[in-house]
């Protein structure tokens, strides 16, 4: 059993969060996205302070295991799940599910009735297993490259 803590992100976490994002796209998405698609999605390793500034208005949770950040999720105030990434080697360990449960509980406590996301092909099956439903395909085009994605939603009690 993996011992993990789910907590709000701290300033010191941004280098690890940025690296998880980079590895999640470049390595983790490799089974479903071509190298060209992954390069169009995220062409360069994010700079931690710029990444922190981009997500500054969002609620950000991290999974910490053995003093190492292994995953993160972000939620905008309007209920949009903006980012959801775990280290590729942490897939199947329950890290993403634990993060998602905390995010959904927080959203319900904030009075949100519905969450939305534009899910990658990697995230779509995971979210579907956790009660999210498909709204419509939502492919993105970046630098002339089509990156498959799907808009999804989850009703909260």
pLDDT digits (tens, 9 = 90+) for 99-157: 999 999 999 999 999 999 999 999 999 999 999 999 999 999 999 999 999 999 999 97
Angstrom distances, CA of residue 28 to CA of 32, 80, 87, 146: 9, 22, 7, 18
Q: Is the pLDDT of residue 4 over 90?
A: no
Give the separation between CA 120 and CA 155, rounded to whole angstroms. Answer: 19
Assign a CATH topology to domain 5-112: Aminopeptidase (3.40.630)
Longest dimension (CA), the chain: 44
pTM: 0.94
Percent of the chain with pLDDT over 90: 94
Q: Is the pLDDT of residue 19 over 80?
A: yes
């Amino acid at each position: 059993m993996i011992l993990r803590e789910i907590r709000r992100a701290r300033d010191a976490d941004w280098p690890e969060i940025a690296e998880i994002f980079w590895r999640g796209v470049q390595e983790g998405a490799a089974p479903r996205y071509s190298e060209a698609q992954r390069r169009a999605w995220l062409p360069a390793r994010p700079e931690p302070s710029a990444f922190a500034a981009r997500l500054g208005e969002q609620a950000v949770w991290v999974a910490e295991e053995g003093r190492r950040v292994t995953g993160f999720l972000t939620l905008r105030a309007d209920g949009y799940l903006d980012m959801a990434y775990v280290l590729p080697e942490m897939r199947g360990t329950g890290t993403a599910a634990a993060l998602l449960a905390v995010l959904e509980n927080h959203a319900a406590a904030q009075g949100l009735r519905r969450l939305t996301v534009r899910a990658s092909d990697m995230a779509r099956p995971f979210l579907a297993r956790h009660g999210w439903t498909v709204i419509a395909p939502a492919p993105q085009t970046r630098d002339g490259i089509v990156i498959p994605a799907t808009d999804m939603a989850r009703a909260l009690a």
